[in-house]
Amino acid sequence: MRRERPTAKRLSNLDHIWIQPASGDAGGAVGAALELAHSQFGAARHAGVEHGRDSMRGSLLGPAFGDADIEAALKAKGLVYHRVENRATHDEAVAQALVEGLIIGRFDGPMEYGPRALGNRSILADPRRPDGQS
């Protein structure tokens, strides 16, 4: 029996929807606090959108550190590191390091918030390697 593919439908009531990034247990707490603020204290309901952009600036709510701070922390712990200066070759250098079995610590920009905070603070390893998790 062949199943028909569902067709995409545009939902007109979702033109100005905002989904906050803490979609796990923390998001439940945020939602409960917002409901209390609205229902009990009359706080205004708004999506926090300014000029067509999320006023929360995504989930980049944590601190950011400069290159000198990061390098000092790595040196203080005696960690081996290599900084790729050339952005054009960055991805290739990371991929090659992973193939060689190295572990990559990505630390770039402000710290993210939420259970899916991946990107600015990540530990990368080649998933094909049996020793990748150890």
Q: Give backbone dihedrals phi and psi of 49, rounded to 5 degrees, phi first.
A: -100, 125
Q: What is the pTM of this model?
A: 0.56
The CB density around residue 115, as the number of other CB atoms within 10 Å, is: 13
Say what the pLDDT of residue 100 is: 93
DSSP secondary structure letter of residue 105: E
CA distance linking residue 106 with residue 120, whole number of Å: 6
The string of pLDDT tens digits covering residues 90-128 is 899 999 999 999 988 888 888 887 666 667 888 899 988
Positive/negative CA dihedral, 124, 126, 129, 130? positive
Say what the pLDDT of residue 17 is: 64
Ordered by start, the domain boundaries in the chain are 12-54, 67-124
Query: Splitting the chain (134 residues) into consecutive groups of 10 residues, what average pLDDT does each group show?
Result: 65 65 71 86 74 64 88 94 85 92 87 72 88 77
